[in-house]
Amino acid sequence: MLFSPKPLHIPDGFLSPLVAIIGWVLALVVIVVALRQTRRQLGERQVPLMGILAAFIFAAQAINFPVAAGTSGHLLGGTLAAIVLGPWAATLIMTAVIGVQAFIFQDGGLLALGWNVLNMGVLTAFSGYLSYRWLYRMIGKKTAARAAAAFAAAWLSVELGAMATAVELAVSGTSPLAIGLPAMAGVHALIGVGEGLITSGAVSLLQVSRLEVLEAGEHAPGRSSAAVVALGLLLAITVAAFSPLASPNPDGLEFVAQQRGFIDRGLEPAYSLLADYSVPFIKNPAATTILAVALGTLIVFTLAWLMGRRVVQVDR
């Protein structure tokens, strides 16, 4: 049976207006700093890699995978992006992904967008990157060390993002911390396993095919050829083609909201463009989902590529 991807992020209504505004302010500050820091680290030949990573993460996030207890999970991708290009560039990549999801697909609230960027972008990028680097050195830089460190770092990043969300819900008066924190941490401990497997698998593939990217980190050499860009986009679009196979089960936050009785606090989006990852004039369930996710993949690629190109050209 085919399904549309499930909404992934904090909707409007779950957070109080004050908490939402604080999230926006903090997110904007971090994004400005990320633009400056990325400018110092990113080379022009790495710009296409920003776009390709953003496109892949967007497409992969559209495929919810089932986990125990009737819920589902999805890739966050912040750790993977940070391992490849460093946490500051990863922050911009994740901002592009989460921003497109909110503004075009009504996935996550506009008022809650600041905290969605911070929880799933900034926090996952930095916690994943720092724990990956530390674990890789601790294990001993052996062949299997990268995959093991990537798995653990990705799992940890999911847990921290879930715990941060629980704190924000508690401060907003939506769910008491004593209830929300263990619920969110418990569900996302299972979801984090999927994140870890995907991230470690991608790192293992890079270790075999492009080891120099992993060894150089945020200073990794890039390739700007049209063939590399086309191949990367083809991979992302191929992933998007599997989006109708997304699990119909609620994601971790929605599951907890249903179980803890605050699901009705969510507000309907102020407008609708490609809501539910579907194109209005296409009725076939599989076709409308694939086209919507493919369009989003191309939009995210373009946005991340333009962002990276703008950052690089500022210093010229």
Could you list the beta-strand ranges (E) of the chain: 65-67, 71-73
Half-sphere exposure of 160 (CA within 13 A, CB side): 20
Q: What are phi and psi of 150, to 5 degrees?
A: -65, -40
Contacts of 72 by beta carbon, 8 Å cutoff, 6+ apart: 6, 64, 65, 66, 191, 246, 247, 248, 249, 250, 251, 252
**Residues linked to residue 66 through DSSP beta bridges, in sequence order:** 72
pLDDT for residue 125: 97
Half-sphere exposure of 272 (CA within 13 A, CB side): 7
33 or 5: which leads in pLDDT: 33
* Domain boundary assignment for the chain: 17-314
232 or 127: which leads in pLDDT: 127
Half-sphere exposure of 76 (CA within 13 A, CB side): 38
- Mean pLDDT, residues 115-142 taken together: 92
- Which pTM does this prediction carry? 0.92
In the predicted model, is pLDDT for residue 216 greater than 60?
A: no
List pLDDT tens digits, range 54-87. Answer: 999 999 999 988 887 778 888 999 999 999 999 9
Q: In the chain, what's the furthest Cα-to-Cα distance?
A: 55
Separation CA 85–CA 54 (nearest Å)? 11
**Residues linked to residue 141 through DSSP beta bridges, in sequence order:** none
In the predicted model, is pLDDT for residue 222 greater than 60?
A: no
Q: Are strands 65-67 and 71-73 parallel, antiparallel or unpaired?
A: antiparallel
List pLDDT tens digits, range 283-315. Answer: 898 999 999 999 999 999 999 998 888 877 655
List pLDDT tens digits, range 181-214. Answer: 999 999 999 999 999 999 999 999 888 877 766 7
119 or 71: which leads in pLDDT: 119
CATH of domain 17-314: 1.10.1760.20
